[in-house]
Amino acid sequence: MPSVRRVSHEFLERQGLTTVFGNPGSNELPFLAGLPDGFRYVLGLHEGAVVGMADGYAQATGRPVLVNLHAASGSGNAMGALTNAVASRTPLVVVAGQQVRPAIGPEANLASVDAPALMKPLVGWAAEPACAGDVPRALAQAVFEARLQRRPTYLSVPYDDWSADVDDNALAVLDRRVLRAAVPGGEQRRWLVEQVASARRPALVLGGDIDSAGRFDDAVRLAERLGGPVWAAPSQFRLPFPNRHPLFRGVLPAGIAPVSAAFEGHDLVLVLGAPVFRYHEHLPGRYLPEGTRLIQVTEDASAAARAPMGEALVADPGAVIDVLLEALGAADRPAGPYRPVPEPLTAEGPALHPEQVFAALREEMPEDTAYVVESTSTNAAWWRQTDLRRQGSYYFPAAGGLGFGLPGAVGVAMAQPGRPVVGVIGDGSANYGITALWTAAQHRVPLTVVLLRNGAYGALRWFGGLLGVPDAPGLDIPGLDFTRIAEGYGVRAQHVGSVAELRAALAETPEHPRLIQVDTALTTP
Ligand SMILES: Cc1ncc(Cn2c(C)c(CCOP(=O)(O)OP(=O)(O)O)sc2=O)c(N)n1
Ligand SMILES: [Ca+2]
Predicted pLDDT at 102:
94
Q: Alpha helices, DSSP H only, in 66-134?
A: 72-87, 101-104, 115-119
Q: For 383-387, which contacts have Cβ atoms below 8 Å and span 24 or more sequence positions? A: 383/243, 383/250, 383/251, 384/341, 384/342, 384/344, 384/355, 384/358, 385/341, 385/342, 385/344, 385/355, 385/358, 385/359, 386/243, 386/358, 386/361, 386/362, 387/243, 387/244, 387/338, 387/341, 387/362
Active site residue 70: yes
State pLDDT tens for residues 428-438.
999 999 999 99
The torsion defined by the Cα of 294, 300, 305 and 309, in degrees rounded to 10, comes to -20
Ligand 2 mean position, distance from CA 463 (Å):
13
Confidence of residue 522 (pLDDT cuts 50, 70, 90): very high
Choose, from 3, 9, 22, 28, the residue flagged as catalytic. Answer: 28
Q: What is the mean pLDDT of residues 109-119?
A: 92
Active site residue 26: yes
Residue to mutate, 429, 434, 482, 524, ligand 1, most ligand atoms under 8 Å from C-beta: 429
Q: Is there a contact between 368 and 216 (Cβ–Cβ < 8 Å)? A: no
Question: For 399-450, what is the HEC assignment?
Answer: CCCCCCHHHHHHHHHHHCCCCCEEEEEECCHHHHCCCHHHHHHHCCCCCEEE
Burial of 507 per CB tally in 10 Å (0-12, 13-18, 19+): exposed
Q: Is there a contact between 44 and 16 (Cβ–Cβ < 8 Å)? A: no
Q: What is the mean pLDDT of residues 450-470?
A: 91
Q: Is the pLDDT of residue 267 over 70?
A: yes
Q: What is the mean pLDDT of residues 454-476?
A: 89
Active site residue 25: yes
Q: What is the mean pLDDT of residues 497-519?
A: 96
- The percentage of residues in the chain with a pLDDT greater than 70, rounded to a whole number, is 100
Neighbours of 363 (CB within 10 A): 14
Distance, in Å, from the CA atom of 55 to the CA atom of 150, rounded to the nearest integer, reads 12
Predicted pLDDT at 402:
95
Choose, from 9, 52, 56, 70, the residue flagged as catalytic. Answer: 70
Comparing 70-84, 164-178, 331-345, the range with the smallest average pLDDT is 164-178
Active site residue 280: yes
pTM, full prediction: 0.92
Collapsing DSSP to helix, strand or coil, 156 comes out as strand
Choose, from 76, 250, 400, 455, the residue flagged as catalytic. Answer: 400
Q: Is the CB of 432 under 6 A from ligand 1?
A: yes
Q: Is the pLDDT of residue 465 over 90?
A: no
Confidence of residue 170 (pLDDT cuts 50, 70, 90): confident
Active site residue 400: yes
Q: CA 259, 263, 269, 273 torsion: positive or negative?
A: negative
Distance, in Å, from the CA atom of 523 to the CA atom of 230, rounded to the nearest integer, reads 27
Q: Is there a contact between 425 and 450 (Cβ–Cβ < 8 Å)? A: yes
Nearest to 97 by CA among 64, 60, 69, 122: 69
Q: Is the pLDDT of residue 180 over 80?
A: no
Choose, from 25, 76, 133, 310, the residue flagged as catalytic. Answer: 25
Task: Considering only residues 456 and 349, tell me which one the structure prediction assigns the higher pLDDT.
Answer: 456
The full DSSP string for 460-480 is HHHHHHHTT-TT-SS-B-TT-
Q: Is the pLDDT of residue 349 over 90?
A: no
**CA-nearest residue, atom 4 of ligand 1:** 402
The ligand 1 atom at the shortest distance from the C-alpha of residue 401 is 27
Ligand 2 mean position, distance from CA 466 (Å):
18
Predicted pLDDT at 462:
87
Confidence of residue 181 (pLDDT cuts 50, 70, 90): low
Q: Is the CB of 433 under 6 A from ligand 1?
A: no
Q: Is the CB of 382 under 6 A from ligand 1?
A: no
**Bond into 121 cis (ω within 30):** yes
Q: Is the pLDDT of residue 496 over 70?
A: yes
State pLDDT tens for residues 46-75.
999 999 999 999 999 999 999 999 998 999
Neighbours of 371 (CB within 10 A): 25
ipTM associated with this complex: 0.99
- Phi, psi (degrees; rounded to nearest 5) at 481: -120, 100
CA distance to 69, 342, 401, 477, per residue, from 474 (Å): 31, 35, 18, 8
Distance, in Å, from the CA atom of 381 to the CA atom of 355, rounded to the nearest integer, reads 5
Predicted pLDDT at 439:
98
Confidence of residue 282 (pLDDT cuts 50, 70, 90): confident
**CA-nearest residue, atom 10 of ligand 1:** 457
- Phi, psi (degrees; rounded to nearest 5) at 145: -60, -45
Nearest to 118 by CA among 56, 157, 73: 73
Q: What is the mean pLDDT of residues 98-102?
A: 95
Ligand 2 mean position, distance from CA 423 (Å):
14
Q: Is the CB of 428 under 6 A from ligand 1?
A: yes
Q: Is the pLDDT of residue 176 over 90?
A: no
Ligand 1 mean position, distance from CA 329 (Å):
45
Burial of 512 per CB tally in 10 Å (0-12, 13-18, 19+): middle
Predicted pLDDT at 472:
87
Choose, from 16, 34, 214, 280, the residue flagged as catalytic. Answer: 280
Q: What is the mean pLDDT of residues 465-490?
A: 92
Q: Is the pLDDT of residue 338 over 90?
A: yes
Q: Alpha helices, DSSP H only, in 254-369?
A: 256-262, 301-306, 317-328, 354-364
Ligand 2 mean position, distance from CA 80 (Å):
19
Predicted pLDDT at 1:
87
Ligand 1 mean position, distance from CA 457 (Å):
6
Q: Is the pLDDT of residue 230 over 90?
A: yes
Distance, in Å, from the CA atom of 443 to the CA atom of 415, rounded to the nearest integer, reads 12
Q: What is the mean pLDDT of residues 106-134?
A: 93
CA distance to 99, 101, 145, 152, per residue, from 134 (Å): 17, 14, 16, 20
Q: Is the CB of 459 under 6 A from ligand 1?
A: yes
Q: Is the pLDDT of residue 16 over 90?
A: yes
Distance, in Å, from the CA atom of 233 to the CA atom of 230, rounded to the nearest integer, reads 10
